[in-house]
Structure 1
Amino acid sequence: MTAGRICTREVDLVDENESVQVAAERMNSRNVGTLIVLDEESHPIGMITDRDLALRVVGKGRDAIETTVESVMTRFPFNVNEETSIEDALTKMRSGGFRRLPVVDQDGKLAGVLTLDDILELLCEEFTEIGKIIRKESPTSLAQL
């Protein structure tokens, strides 16, 4: 399974020059906790999360209208491409302490976002299917045939 296959393709964006007030309003209106920042060529360069707003803006007593997204966003040290395996993406997440990674196409342009929740959902589905197989092949099930 690849990152491109399970990532979220509809991604909410914010410009790095917008205020964090605008970012917070966008998160609220779209009911999301993360916004991605792109450069002029649609390459991901950062993200801002609701946690960033809480800790880096409110927690530091900064003015939400005067503070720009660029000044508090998390810059992307990593991303994954659409063909990256889920295992490799998870390794990057663990090594960097990330819960989300941008997924890029072959040109490095944003294609989606892979979240830890996406991976957990996939694993739950897989474990459910494995559980069905185990129950079907259990001695009790086989004895009833």
Structure 2
Amino acid sequence: MTAGRICTREVDLVDQNESVQVAAERMNSRNVGTLIVLDEESHPIGMLTDRDLALRVVGKGRDAIETTVCDIMTRFPYNISEDTSIEAALTKMRSGGFRRLPVVDREGKLLGVLTLDDILELLCEEFTEIGKLIQKESPASLAQL
């Protein structure tokens, strides 16, 4: 399974020159915790998370209207290719302490975002299917045949 197959394709964006107040309102209205900043060619150049807002704005007493996204965003976030395996994506997440990774195509253009939640959902589905198989192949089930 690859990152491109399970990533979220509908990604919320933010302009790096917008105020963090506008960005926070967008996060709230869309019920998301991450906004991606793109350059003119749709390459991810930054990421803004709800944690960034809490720690870099509220935690430092900054003015949310005067502070721009580029002042606090994570610049040049680690990206993964759409062909990256889920195992490799998890390794990158663990090693960097990331919960979200932009997924890019061969030209480095944004395709989606892979989140830890996406991976956990996939694993839950897989474990459910394994559980059904084990139930079906149990001695009690086989004895009823």
Q: Deviations over 1:37-66 (max 9, x none)?
A: 111111001111111111110111000011
Report whether the alignment pairs 1:129 with 2:129: yes
**Where does residue 54 of structure 2 map in the other structure?**
54
Return the TM-score normalized by structure 2: 0.97
Q: Which runs of 5+ in 2 are unaligned?
A: none
Task: Indicate conservation of the 8 Å contact 2:47/2:77, yes or no.
Answer: no
Distance apart, 1:123 and its partner CA:
0.3
Give the partner amino acid of 1:22.
V
How many Å separate the matches in 1 of 2:11 and 2:119?
17
Q: Which runs of 4+ in 1 moved over 2 A?
A: none
Report whether the alignment pairs 1:67 with 2:67: yes
How many Å separate the matches in 1 of 2:46 and 2:95?
18
**Where does residue 119 of structure 1 map in the other structure?**
119
Return the TM-score normalized by structure 1: 0.97
Task: Indicate conservation of the 8 Å contact 2:43/2:108, yes or no.
Answer: yes
Report whether the alignment pairs 1:6 with 2:19: no
**Where does residue 32 of structure 1 map in the other structure?**
32
Give the partner amino acid of 1:131.
G
3-state SS in 1 of match to 2:41:
coil
How many Å separate the matches in 1 of 2:116 and 2:92?
11
3-state SS in 2 of match to 1:15:
coil
Give the partner amino acid of 2:49.
T
Give the partner amino acid of 1:132.
K
Report whether the alignment pairs 1:78 with 2:78: yes
3-state SS in 1 of match to 2:111:
strand
Identity of aligned residues (%): 89
| Number of residues of Structure 1 aligned to a counterpart in Structure 2 | 145
Q: Deviations over 1:11-55 (max 9, x none)?
A: 000011111011011111111111001111110011111111111
Distance apart, 1:139 and its partner CA:
0.9
Distance apart, 1:75 and its partner CA:
2.1
Give the partner amino acid of 1:39.
D
How many Å separate the matches in 2 of 1:136 and 1:75?
50
